[in-house]
């Protein structure tokens, strides 16, 4: 940006669901904040120009659920590499899960992540604290200490809070700070397999996980939220039953929200069947090959579940989309399906994957942007997710029709683990601006 501090994103299709704006225009940025939305052909003297002709201009995407791995698992991802991947994916704010080493269960660890993000982060990083010490499910963390450190919620993600009394205490105590408990809902005694239970697991000879493994804990947590008046958020909803339960909770007026991932919205259990590439597909003798990159927790579900999730997004039962970006080293996936790590590196493919729903006519572009911007901003209760004058100049510019083929080797994330390798997507980020600074711009 030049010395005048002016930056004009010119002649784009501006969509800001928070203000119900959907028209051609130009976004003026001054000194890191939104100055206003101008007409499409207005010029501003001395302003730097980003020509957005033919592109969508919207508030920066917000990801409420990602794994940056640092500290402790820097071989999988670092704050620097993860936030750069976020910038390439159009995300201007990400919320980092606490399952690091050490777990983010003390102020010291939260402060470390905050300091490292301020030093190395390409985008804004907000921290999520653990629910229990070491995420072991035995005793609550000092929630007041973590709230003072600025966490936006508490989660043992990767593990459920299995003890019902601990969950009750967590919901009750966290309500003192107005912060949510974000639970990975998985009844472990029912979750003994490695993929969803169904015809694909039968064909591959893999032990399956029934939908009820998620749904019984969702039902328990909703009951505890009703009992305590606490604020409950369901991470990575994946089944039709979960959406029905959350919808009923909303009808009762309970403080219950949920999110869905790009992969649960666009991929079914059939993605586990793989494509036969010997370098990343395995299978028992005599069985079909499988792709360990399609192993995720909760598992990819049936086509019927996928359809229910899309419907829940349209009806409002699902509050927003979150990536659950889970980068892993190649060695973590280069093994049998049962032993492979769960997770998909998804920050850089999120938009392209989700745009398939728009291009197929399943959802509108306006709804997609709302679920990536204004909706997560409301959940956070922060002045983000909008192009309103005075807001931080977090802006995403993307080409909704740009076709490209996923090449994991080109990811800036350390995690190359994706079942989308070689898949053609339509929709690509052109530029990502955080607080007025261009942190990513596509070359060519």
3-state secondary structure 10-52: EEEEEEEHHHCEEEEEEEEEECCEEEEEECCCCCCCCCEEEEC
N- to C-terminal Cα distance for the chain? 20
Domain 6-56+393-410+424-441 has CATH 2.30.40.10: yes
Question: Domain ranges in the chain?
Answer: 6-56+393-410+424-441, 63-380
Tokens of 107: 């102020």
Across the chain, which has 444 residues, the per-10-residue mean pLDDT values are 76 98 98 95 90 98 98 98 98 98 98 98 98 98 98 97 98 97 98 97 96 98 98 98 98 98 98 62 52 98 98 97 98 96 98 98 98 98 97 98 98 98 97 98 82
pLDDT of the residue at 444: 59
Q: How far apart are CA 347 and CA 102, in angstroms?
A: 24
324 is catalytic: yes
The architecture (CATH level 2) of 63-380 comes to Alpha-Beta Barrel (3.20)
Q: For residues 29 and 393, is the Cβ–Cβ distance under 8 A?
A: yes
List strand residue ranges (DSSP E) for 264-380, in order: 281-282, 290-291, 320-321
Nearest to 67 by CA among 86, 50, 89: 86
Q: For residues 150 and 127, is the Cβ–Cβ distance under 8 A?
A: yes
Query: Exactly one of 291, 324, 332, 399 is catalytic; which is it?
Result: 324
pLDDT of the residue at 3: 44
Tokens of 202: 């039968």
Tokens of 364: 């509108």
63-380: same fold as 6-56+393-410+424-441?
no
Tokens of 363: 């959802």
Helix, strand or coil, per DSSP, at residue 380: helix
Q: How far apart are CA 196 and CA 308, in angstroms?
A: 16
Q: Does the model's pTM come out above 0.85?
A: yes
pLDDT of the residue at 169: 98
pLDDT of the residue at 253: 97
Q: How far apart are CA 263 and CA 284, in angstroms?
A: 26
pLDDT of the residue at 36: 96
pLDDT of the residue at 257: 98
Q: For residues 329 and 405, is the Cβ–Cβ distance under 8 A?
A: no
Residue at token pair 């958020």? 233
């Amino acid at each position: 940006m030049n010395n005048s501090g002016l930056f004009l994103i010119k002649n784009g299709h501006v969509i800001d669901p928070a203000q119900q704006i959907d028209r051609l225009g130009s976004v003026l940025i001054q000194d890191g904040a939104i100055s206003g939305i101008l007409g499409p052909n207005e010029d501003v003297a001395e302003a730097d120009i980003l020509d957005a002709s033919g592109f969508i201009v919207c508030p920066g995407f917000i990801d409420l659920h990602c794994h940056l791995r640092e500290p402790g698992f820097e071989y999988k991802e670092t704050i620097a590499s993860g936030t750069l991947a976020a910038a390439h994916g159009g995300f201007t704010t990400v919320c980092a899960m606490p399952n690091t080493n050490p777990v983010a269960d003390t102020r010291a660890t939260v402060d470390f992540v905050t300091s490292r993000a301020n030093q190395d982060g390409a985008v804004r990083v907000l921290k999520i604290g653990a629910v229990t010490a070491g995420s072991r499910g035995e005793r609550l963390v000092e929630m007041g200490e973590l709230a003072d450190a600025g966490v936006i919620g508490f989660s043992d993600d990767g593990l459920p809070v299995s003890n019902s009394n601990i969950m009750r205490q967590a919901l009750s105590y966290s309500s003192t700070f107005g912060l949510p408990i974000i639970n990975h809902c998985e009844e472990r005694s029912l979750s003994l397999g490695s993929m969803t239970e169904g015809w694909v697991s039968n064909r591959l000879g893999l032990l399956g996980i029934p939908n009820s493994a998620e749904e019984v804990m969702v039902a328990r947590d909703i009951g505890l939220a009703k009992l305590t008046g606490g604020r409950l958020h369901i991470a990575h909803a994946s089944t039709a039953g979960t959406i029905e339960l959350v919808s009923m909770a909303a009808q009762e007026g309970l403080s219950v929200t949920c999110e869905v991932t790009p992969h649960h919205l666009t991929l079914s259990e059939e993605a586990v069947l793989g494509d036969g590439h010997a370098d990343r597909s395995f299978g028992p003798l005599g069985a079909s090959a499988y792709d360990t990159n399609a192993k995720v927790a909760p598992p990819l579900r049936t086509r019927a579940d996928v359809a229910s999730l899309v419907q829940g997004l349209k009806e409002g039962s699902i509050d927003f989309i979150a990536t659950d970006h889970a980068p892993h080293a190649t060695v973590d996936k280069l093994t049998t399906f049962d032993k492979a790590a769960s997770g998909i590196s998804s920050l850089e493919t999120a938009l392209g994957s989700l745009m398939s729903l728009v291009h197929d006519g399943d959802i509108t572009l306006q709804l997609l942007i709302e679920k990536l911007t204004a909706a997560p901003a409301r959940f956070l209760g922060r002045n983000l997710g909008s192009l309103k004058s005075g807001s931080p100049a977090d802006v995403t510019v993307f080409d909704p029709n740009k076709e490209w083929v996923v090449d994991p080797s080109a990811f800036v994330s350390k995690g190359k683990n994706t079942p989308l390798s070689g898949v053609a997507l339509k929709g690509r980020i052109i530029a990502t601006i955080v607080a007025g600074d261009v942190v990513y711009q596509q070359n060519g």
